Structures are given as C-alpha cells and as structure tokens.
A and B are shown apart, each in its own frame.
Chain A
Amino acid sequence: MKPMEISKEKAAFLGRITASVSHDIQNVLAIIKETSGLMEDFFLMQQSGGLENFDAKVGKCLQTIKKQTYRGVDLTSGLNGFAHTSDVHQISIGIFGTLNRLISIAQRLFNQKGVDVSLMECPTPCSILTDPVLFQMTVFSCIECLIDIIGAKKAVSLDIQASEHGLAIRIVCQDTPLAYDDYSPKLIQSTQWTTINGLCEQIDMSAEIISDVPGILISIK
C-alpha cells in the first residue's frame, strides 16, 4: 500500500466509524427529545384537569432520560477516545482496551449486518507499540471480512492470546456449519483479504485463516 492510499483508507475508516456513532447519538437525542415532549404533554394534561398516575408517568420519563444520557456519555466518550487514536502515528496501546472501545463503537455497523461481536476477557494486560488507527483498521477489516463470508445472524468473538510465541488476536465465528474448504477460498478471494494483508504489512503483523473454525488469526510480530 502506498502512503497516499493508506491515508485515504484511514480517513475512510475514521469517517465510517464516526458516522455510525453519530447516528447512535442522534437516536439518543431523539429519545430524549420525545421523552421530554411526552413529559410536557403530561404536565399540560395535569394542569388542565389532572392526569391519573401523573407522578409515576413523569418518573418513568425521567428514568428514560437518565438512561439515554448515560448511553450518550458512553458513546461520546468512546468516540472521543477513538478520534484521539489518530493523534500519533506510533504509540504504545493496551490491546484489550483499544479493541473493547472499537467493538463498542462499531457494534451498530456489525449489528446492521445481523452479527453480534464480542471480545473475551483478557487476564494478561498486553500492549503493543503500533500505529493505533492502522491496528484498529486491520482488526475491523478482519471482522468485517469474516462477517461477509459467514453471513447474518451469527456471533463473532475476539480473543487476545499471549504466549511465548508472542501476541495474537483470534477472530472466530463458532455457530456456523461452514467447513474450512467452504470459507477459506471465499476469504482468500475477497478483496478485503488483499486489503487486510496490505494493512498487516504496514504494522508488522500477519493474518492467516484458522483451519478448525471459521476465523482469522492476526499475529503480532
């Protein structure tokens, strides 16, 4: 990949994630707006003749607003943290924290494809010195590539593995009957696979197809 091409890909990735999260933030605001509007309706009804269970109805609205406010805070914090990963080209990052935030803010994009993505707890804190945006792009591309191959209504899980051989990220889909001979050629032939390998080269990583279960193993050299 040429530097210009990488910059374009990075901008597209950042834009895609930002657009998805901002859509979620709009949904949060839409709920808060409708709920406060409903409270206004209740107050007007209470003033003009009284409303049965007024306190309970208003209380329920306040709970909804509170819940959505927390959701909004989580979304904006995640987005802010993600946006700041583009501040530097190389830095030491915690793998679990970075992936956890990426999956959290990109979940809407995965859900739209009918797939739920989760990250397994990592007992050992692992960090790497890398370009944080390229690292996230690589993992995101692997997840998306796998989703496109396995189809909707599945679950994908990520597992960070630390051993004497180094660090690796295992991205697998457990609940599919696809055999290696079914998914392997599709993965290799996909345009995303070429992109993934191009990205891996940039950050000294390698991606390989797992043989026992549909998945991709990203090894960190």
Chain B
Amino acid sequence: MNFKYLKLTFVFVSIVIFTLLALPEFNIKVNGTEIDYKAVDFGTVGIDAKFSSFEKSSDLFPSTRIRVEANFDTEMSQEEKENALEKMMQVYIDRIDYKARFDDIKIQTLSSEEFNGFVFVVPERYEFPEETVEWITGKGEINFTGSILNASLDDSEITNSYFDDEIGVEVSQNAYDYARFPTLVYEFKDKEDDIATIANGGYAGIDLTVDGRDFEFVAHETKDNAIRIQAIFDGEESQITNELYIDYLKIVESYLEDDVLEYSVNIINVSSEAPLYNPEGASFIGITFILGLVVVAFAILIKKGSSAFVTYVLSSTSLILLTIVIAKMFKIDLSVTAILTFVMIFVLTTVFIIEAINNINKDNINKILRNLLNLSIVSLFISYFIITFLISQDSRVASVDTMFRTIFTFNLATIILVNLNLKFILQLYTAKRENSFLLIKRRK
C-alpha cells in the first residue's frame, strides 16, 4: 500500500496548523477589508496557553522603570540607611525569586544623601507593573483573627499555610469565588472542633488583612482542619486576571518566609526604560534569519536539485514553526539568550538535515535520524534536569533558565518531528531519488 500521498498530506496539514499556532496577533487592511487575526486559545480544553505573541523580555523591548523611595527615620545616618536598604533588598529578592515566578524583574538599590530607595525594571508582560511592585515591596504584615461562635482562631495557632493554585473544586456555597481564583490555605492544629463548627455554618467572621488588604473566607476543610481564604480586589483591580491573582498570592505566600519589613516604600516615579539592545533588533534578526534560510535553500536547489530543495524547506519550516508553538506554550521570553540558543541548535539541526539530504541511502537516512533523535533525547533530559532541579531553586539566573527552556523546547520539537514530519519528508525524498536513479538506469 502506498502511503505517499497520505504522508504528503500529513506534512502539509501539520505545517498549516503549526503556522496558525505560531502566528502572532495581527491586524491588516487589504482593499478596505480588515483582517484581524486573534490568538488561538486552548483554554476550553484545559491548556493554559494563548498562542498569540511571545512574552517580551526587557533586553529587547521597553520596560516600565519604577523608582521607589524608602521611608526612613530622619535621624538615621546614611550608613544605617544603606544597611537597611541591603536588608530590604534581600527580602525583595527572596520574594521575587519565590517559586521563580518574577525572576525577570530587575531590581537595583539606589542610595545617596538625597535619595534612598530602589529601582524596579518590570518587563512588558506584567499587566499591572505598579501593583506588582507594591506587592513585592509590601511590609508583609499579616493580621489574622477568626471568630467561631464562642471560640476564635488566632494566627499563633496556624500550623501550616500554603498556596493552592487548584481552581474549580466546589466545596462550599461560595463556590463561584473559589472556582474563579486559587486560595491561600491555613491549617490549624488542635482546632478540630472549631473547624467542625465552621462546617456546621457556625462561623461568625474571619478577618485577615495583608498590608491592609482584606481577605475573605471562602471554604473550610474539616479533613485537614483548614480554611481557605481569598483576597478581595476593589475598583480597577477587580479586573485582575487569574494569572495575576496567582502572582499576588505567591507574593503573599512569600511574606510568610521572612520577618515583617521595618520600613515601607513609596512609588515616586514611573517611566519607560529603553531596552538594552536596539528595539528594532528582533524584527531585523527575524528577516535576516529568513533570508539566511532562503540562501541555504537556493544553494541546495542549485547543488542538489528541486526535490532536495523541497525536502530542506519543508523540514526547516516544520522545525521552526513547531519550536515557536512549543516556546509559546512554555512561555519563553523573546530575549537575546533565547535567540542565540535557538540559532545554535537550529544550525546544528540544519547540518543534520543537510547530511541526510546528501545521503541517498535509506539506511543512512534512518541512522542520521536515529542519531538526531538520540542526541535530542539526551539534550532534553539534561535541560529538563537543569530547569527543574537547579534553576527553580535559585532563579536569579533568568538567562540560563531561558537558555535551557529554549534547548528543551527545540529538542521536544525535534523529537516529535523526527518521528513524523522529518521522517515522512526524508522517506518521500529517498523514494523520489531512488525512483529517478532507477529511471536513469533503465533509460541507459
């Protein structure tokens, strides 16, 4: 049975799907008709990834520069102020690094006789940069009181507290809120009776404030003697997204790790920070990269003929597009490190593809693909190990994180394609070359 057309259809259909997923959001006008390409969203099937645009890093795209001033006592000496700033900086870094969610926010201490404070450079991906900085720099004062009929819950009785990002478990009459946002969970030892009282509808009120923000009780769990609470956002903040809410709760959770800060800060200036490199650079690199591919493709066309040209174009296109799709899924920042890493692995893989094109023998092609697969699997495991066990422990190295996430992404794309598109394309190419070879022989 000849699967030639089936394979060819599969390759083209997959390239079309990858293109749709890889395309950024855009809006163009053609002859008065407006074409608005929206992001492909798989939220309905439970995949939390919007296939719109890359997350933009601060080295290639403008960021928000927020300057905050520390409220020190006037009688403090400059040396004392600098020591206090150092301590505050360490706490902020701990909060930023906590669970490695904000590691792309840069922080710098600024001190002089006239000004003592910090500068936060927040990348474009943060929808609420000022709020995020306010949360990070919060004093971390958590006041907890709970009234349960004739008893009370006190924060000194909290034995365990954690952040639960699971959403949608309906356990109480407040199911709507609970389903909408994740929760902070507080467990109480030796409070079985009190939690049971809450379970029977006997709670009078739980009052928890974090730096002045009210939290509300949403659910209880008698099994773990725990209560679940959520923050209340008013005004503009009520438009908060689920993702941002998770960010906030992670910062609040990090408050539990350190002592309450002695000094508060005020935002005194918000401005735009120009990127480290030329902002037009990303587009230029993109165009140069495509031109480079075209040059290589034409070189192959001249040297090896049209079937080798088509093989190269289809293989490279599949690889680039699927890598972009997976990179968006894993929320990799579009940064210089990501570009450099992508270039390195892509060039390496291109050499593999060209070597495969040079080998007409079917067995050789299988060997080359097997080698590519083995190397990709090894690289995937190394990068996964580094991302999971090293970088998550210490996230001050955002560039390394991006580097190994890119390696992971590319290798994942390669592993998928070696068994599908690359295999089919090279099989079709081999069949075509062998047929033409036999044809020449017969003619002779």
Please say whether chains A and B are actual partners in one complex: no
